[in-house]
Every structure is written in C-alpha cells, then in structure tokens.
Amino acid sequence: MGDYPVSVKDLQTLIDKYSKLDHNLVLSDIYVKDRQNYASCLKISSTNVLDILDQNKTTFGTHCYVTILRFVTLAYIDKTTDILKRLFFAWSNVFICRLWFTWIRHKLIIDTEKKANTAKYRLTKKLSTIL
C-alpha cells in the first residue's frame, strides 16, 4: 500500500518483540495450516494488535490490511454491531479497497509507461549506432 508493504513478517516481529499478554498472538495464528481458522482471524484483527502496529510507521500497510479485516468482521459477522455501525464499517471497507485498487492500477500504468519509454530509448540508441 503506497510505499508500505503488507507482510506477515510485521506480525511475526510483533510476536517476537512484545509479550503475548500485549497481543495474544502465537506463531500458529499467522502461519496457519487451516485457512478458515476464524479464531486466528479475530486475534490478528484485535484492537491490541492494531494499537501495536500503529506505533511503528513502517507497518502502515499491514495496519491497513488488518483494519480492513477487522471492519469486515464488524460489518458482516459480529452480531453485537448495530445497523449504523455496520453500514459505516461496510462502506469504509468499500472506500479503502477501491482506493487501494485505484492506486495499484495507477502504479501499474506508470510502471508500464516507464518500461515502454525505456524500450523506446534503447531502440533509438541501437538505431543511431547502426546508422
């Protein structure tokens, strides 16, 4: 996300650096064999984990991803969330994901144009050396 990567290594660093009492995570929560482990999903998207990730600016991408995960849980799964908050979390997710997708698409267009310009320059340089 931007210049900030989304990485499971950020969560592993969090587990290694902080006490389990601070975040309640273990390595099996982030390196799961069962991809449908909802309990691990809840642990990863807890407010404690988000607070710790927020302290380090290099983990901004991972923080955004975990925030999206938390908002999905609050909007669609958590039964205690009232309707207005559900709408807020759902539309926040839509906005964040659309913005992220637009940035990725924009970045791909810029990278493609740079490659095309570089290839054009190389072709021009080769032709000038031949002539």
Residue 119 lies in a domain: yes
Whether 3 contacts 59, CB under 8 Å = no
Residue 1 lies in a domain: no
State the burial class of residue 120 (Cβ atoms within 10 Å of its Cβ: 0-12, 13-18, 19+).
exposed
- pLDDT tens per residue, range 75-127: 999 999 999 999 999 999 999 999 988 988 888 888 888 777 776 666 565 55
Q: What percent of the chain is predicted at pLDDT more than 70?
A: 89
Quick one: the chain helix, strand, coil %, rounded to 5?
Answer: 80, 0, 20
Q: Is this structure's pTM higher than 0.85?
A: no
**Residue range(s) defining the domain that contains residue 121:** 8-130
Residue 90 lies in a domain: yes
Higher pLDDT, 77 or 130: 77
Specify the number of domains making up the chain. Answer: 1
